[in-house]
């Protein structure tokens, strides 16, 4: 999808004052505000992005700011994932598109280094796990895996189905290992970085 088509979906009409304002001062906060006003569903946000769903579409948009280096952060993962759509563990996502003339001076977390690049991707609608003991994790624990090997970073020390599944996948699933190998040096894989496509586990954003 071209940038102007996305903006037209978001703002309604090019001659609206909101659209003109948006062209002059792009930011994540501006996108979120306009989307909410237009009836879009706000799915949530991270340190440098937000996920929004158009009321008449069966997909969502992720808007995020980054420096746009192909091997770094969410930008790098989205580029890689868009080229590896045959992997069941990656989200169905389009290659990032840069919105020209953007700014990131309105930021969720001021301590992060600002970027002059704002991007968007179109991404499938996924469902979050129902906690770390969601029964859907069970199918990813290989029968050959020794559950006594599992460790956890949880403060309470509880070892969950999620912990077993992630550990087992590393040993026995080549598709998961492809994602892990891509993200290895920036890996940040917690329960908030995974979702489900039906019963299929999806690594939404494994990058620190």
Distant-in-sequence, close-in-space partners of 36: CB < 8 Å, separation ≥ 6:
42
DSSP 30-81: HHHHHHHHTT-EEEEE-SSEEEEE-TT-SEEEEEEE----TTSHHHHHHHHH
List of the chain residues with pLDDT < 50: 68, 70-71, 104-114
CA-nearest of 57, 49, 101, 102 to 77 is 49
Task: Give pLDDT tens digits for 51-105.
Answer: 888 888 888 888 887 754 544 588 889 999 999 999 999 999 999 887 765 554 4
pLDDT of residue 178: 95
pTM flag (> 0.85)? no
Rounded to an integer, what is the distance from CA 175 to the centroid of its chain?
Answer: 18
Would you tell me how many other CB atoms lie within 10 Å of the CB of residue 118?
A: 25
């Amino acid at each position: 999808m071209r940038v102007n088509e996305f903006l037209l979906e978001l703002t309604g009409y090019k001659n609206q004052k909101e659209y003109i304002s948006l062209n002059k001062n792009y930011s994540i906060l501006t996108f979120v505000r306009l989307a909410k006003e237009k009836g879009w569903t706000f799915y949530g946000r991270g340190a440098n992005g937000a996920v929004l769903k158009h009321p008449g579409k069966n997909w969502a948009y992720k808007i995020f700011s980054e420096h746009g280096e192909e091997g770094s952060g969410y930008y790098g993962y989205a580029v890689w994932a868009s080229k590896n759509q045959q992997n069941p563990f990656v989200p169905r996502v389009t290659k990032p598109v840069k919105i020209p003339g953007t700014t990131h001076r309105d930021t969720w977390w001021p301590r992060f280094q600002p970027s002059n690049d704002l991007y968007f991707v179109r991404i499938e609608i996924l469902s979050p796990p129902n906690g770390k003991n969601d029964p859907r994790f069970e199918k990813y624990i290989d029968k050959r895996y020794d559950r006594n090997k599992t460790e956890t970073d949880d403060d309470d020390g509880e070892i969950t189905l999620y912990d077993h599944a992630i550990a087992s996948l590393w040993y026995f699933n080549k598709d998961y290992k492809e994602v892990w190998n891509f993200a290895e040096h920036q890996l940040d894989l917690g329960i908030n970085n995974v979702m489900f496509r039906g019963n299929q586990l999806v690594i939404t954003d494994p990058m620190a």
